[in-house]
Amino acid sequence: MALLKRPNGTRDTLPSETSEWQALEGFLCETAHINGFHEIRIPTFEHTDLFARGVGETTDVVQKEMYTFEIGKHSYTLRPEGTAGVVRAVLENGLLNEALPLKLFYILSCFRHEAVQHGRQREFHQFGVEMAGSSSPAADAEVIGLANQILTEAGVGNASLRINSIGCPTCRKQYSEALRNYFAPHTAELCATCHDRMERNPMRLLDCKEAKCKVIAKDAPSILEYLCDDCKAHFAQLKHNLELLNISYTVDSRIVRGLDYYTKTVFEFIVPDGDGELTVCGGGRYDGLVEELGGNPTPALGFGMGLERLLATLHDQGITLSEPDPCCLYIVPMGEKAADMAMKLTNQLRKEGSAAQTDVMGRSLRAQMKYADRIGARFTMVIGDNELENGEAVLKNMKTGEKITMKLGDDFVDRFCDIEIADRLAAEE
């Protein structure tokens, strides 16, 4: 029978890797809490209409990349991103009736049927934040500041911030017409998807990944030339706020982001990736999304940060967040009575927070010592008939070779914990 393999575009996170994921997730949660954000958890799948309305029917995500299935008369979709589901949860649970601004964060898996490449999987994990209730550019700066803090404190030393304003529905109307006029002479050269975008959402033309469409879009007019006075003032104040926070930025009028719900501020944090670039974080303002999903008009904004991409970036820079915590003590029992004692001591140590282990395979002394070495045990201790009779055993430091005689009495656990702490402190020095 053939061995079954994981689907293309997914990956297994092995035990040797999970400690780093846990460290990263813990760091993200702590940093979000410091900035006043609280965690929300949402379903893995939603009604398909949520993403059609929220993400936008003209986006690549909705048109090409969603995992959609039908059960009975209902159509469901595995979430391709987090914002639409969070806004749905906010409205359904009345969270906008609480103190504003509402500040939420999440860590979740997302699913998009994209071409698999470096930094892009079909199942990927995302850290995101959403802030609802404030239309102030100060809110934009605070959200961007949180992303900048995360990247800086994680050790990403080469991330650059790029910002843009894509205006509001009022000024975008004029800009859309300008784009249609610009692209009209090139209609025959555009890809099939862009033909549809020409009429439905011309700004999506700037986000096409097809090489021929990228060449045509290169000299398209800039949205910044069409901003209304309100959007100009908002963007100017955002730049002022970022300067107050000492956050460097570059204005890039080509950033439109890939989802239809964005308005005004959009931004990306970029890192070099070989001969190209990789977006490790992207987001912006979406002042119309809450209303689009059935709520009252409510300004909002947020960002998403791909965790696979962030970890890959850290690894490229030689940064490892955490190593697996090894076994602190492996107790080697020889005989049934010794096995009973080893089980009791191991259980007591674990209750005190020490990662102790003992044999459950019926291995020989030699095999147990070999296993203890393979799992990186800091200490080992052999217990046999002589040790039980004498009421003491020899504790061996597997790194230094030092041996300490330990009594197996009631204070064994306390004395071992003291030794372990001292050993850890010595190792850190």
Tens of pLDDT, residues 186-228: 888 888 878 878 877 888 788 777 888 888 888 889 899 999 9
Whole-model pTM: value is 0.88
The pLDDT assigned to 258 comes to 57
CB atoms inside a 10 Å sphere around CB 218: 9
- Range(s) of the chain covered by CATH 3.40.50.800: 329-423
Two tokens at 278?
């990789």
Specify whether the CB–CB gap between 196 and 226 falls below 8 A.
no
Query: Is domain 329-423 classified as CATH 3.40.50.2300?
Result: no
Q: CA angle, corner 53, sides to 52 and 55, nearest 5?
A: 70
- Range(s) of the chain covered by CATH 3.30.930.10: 17-167+246-316
Tens of pLDDT, residues 236-281: 999 999 999 999 999 998 887 756 678 899 999 999 887 778 899 9
Q: What is the topology classification, in CATH, of domain 17-167+246-316?
A: BirA Bifunctional Protein; domain 2 (3.30.930)
Taken in order 162, 163, 164, 168, the sign of the CA dihedral is positive
What is the rounded distance in angstroms from the CA atom of residue 341 to the CA atom of residue 339?
Answer: 5
Tens of pLDDT, residues 28-63: 999 999 999 999 999 999 999 999 887 877 677 887
Instruction: Specify the 3-state DSSP secondary structure of 406.
Output: strand
Give the H or E element holding residue 200: helix 192-200
SS (H, E, C) 207-233: HCCCHHHHHHHCCCCCHHHCCCHHHHH
Partners of 123 in beta bridges: 111
Distances (CA, A) of 342 to 102, 347, 359, 375, 389: 52, 8, 8, 18, 14
Which string of DSSP letters, residue by residue, matches 291-337?
A: HHTTS----EEEEEEEHHHHHHHHHHTT----PPPPPSEEEEE-SHH
- Please tell me what DSSP assigns to residue 398: T
